[in-house]
Amino acid sequence: MDRLVSTVDILFKVALALIAAYTSYQFGAFRQQNDDAKLVVDLAFAQEPRTAMAGVVLAGTYMKSGRIPPDLYTSIVASANSNGDPQLRDTANNGATEIASSNRVVAKKLTQVLATLPVRVYFQISREADRARAKQTEDLLQNHGPTFNSQSVVVPGIQFVKQARTRTEVRCFKTAECNDFGSKLVTFLAGVGISSALVDLSDRYGNSESIRPYHFEIWFGPLS
């Protein structure tokens, strides 16, 4: 009987030790995640561009290894998209696209968060001679976009593409967005003297999780 009591006592003490070890581990992991989150926030929301860039990159690294929660990561990506720095925005979006491709939780949260962000319209030109006219159009769109759309409009930049085009195309990727803002873009361009055609690519990209909501592209034909 004494031996049985002794065995039970030992097992009880072992169980307590395991519980204590597990609790200590959980507390340590929680504290580590808090430390990681604080570091990422301090860096990603810094005013200095290089520091913010380092924070965005670190946030992606920590998200991949589960060291920060998805809500924090998507908030950082959203902040980078609202930032006026196109390099920071592109870095955040490229990292988010990679993570979202293998993490459905992040993909879903990104879709929800980014849907409230400004409309992004990417400009593509095939002739450097058209850059000045495209820049004028960019300024007009960013200044007057909110007058025909509830969200603000951002043109991340003008990219030169070695692919000659004979007409200007407004490319959209989600059916509802094509019918709404896509059509408004065509009307806007007509108002500044640029004829364009709406190209609906939703059949190919409508279910893609790598394209954020309200992403548009304008591929300019010759502007002069």
- Residue 84 is predicted with a pLDDT of 65
Distance CA(153)–CA(184), nearest Å, equals: 12
> Where are the chain's structural domains?
2-114, 119-219
Say which amino acid occupies 63: M
- Rama region for 193: left / alpha / beta (φ>0; ψ in -120 to 50; rest): left
Fold for the domain defined by 119-219: Alpha-Beta Plaits (3.30.70)
The predicted structure's pLDDT at residue 149? 67
Q: Which residue has the tokens 């364009």?
A: 196
Strand pairing of 168-172 and 215-219?
antiparallel
The encoded tokens of residue 208 equal 């893609």
Q: What integer pLDDT is reported at residue 171 of this predicted model?
A: 96
* Residues contacting residue 74 through CB under 8 Å, at least 6 positions apart: 96, 106, 109, 110, 113
Contact partners, residue 186, CB within 8 Å, separation at least 6: 170, 196, 197, 198
Please report the pLDDT score of residue 108 as a whole number: 87
> Residues 6 or more apart from 136 whose CB is under 8 A from it?
192
| Contact present, 171 and 217 (Cβ < 8 Å) | yes
Per-residue pLDDT tens listing for the chain (224 residues):
544 445 445 444 444 444 444 444 444 444 666 888 888 889 988 889 999 999 999 999 999 998 888 888 888 888 887 766 778 888 888 888 888 888 889 888 887 877 677 788 999 999 999 999 999 999 999 888 766 666 788 898 899 998 888 999 999 999 989 998 999 999 999 999 999 999 999 998 877 766 777 889 999 999 98
164 CB-near residues (< 8 Å, 6+ apart): 126, 127
10 Å CB burial of residue 108 (0-12, 13-18, 19+) is middle
Question: Among 115, 121, 181, which Cα is nearest to 155's?
Answer: 121
Q: For residue 42, which amino acid is it?
A: D
In angstroms, the CA 47 to CA 37 distance is 18
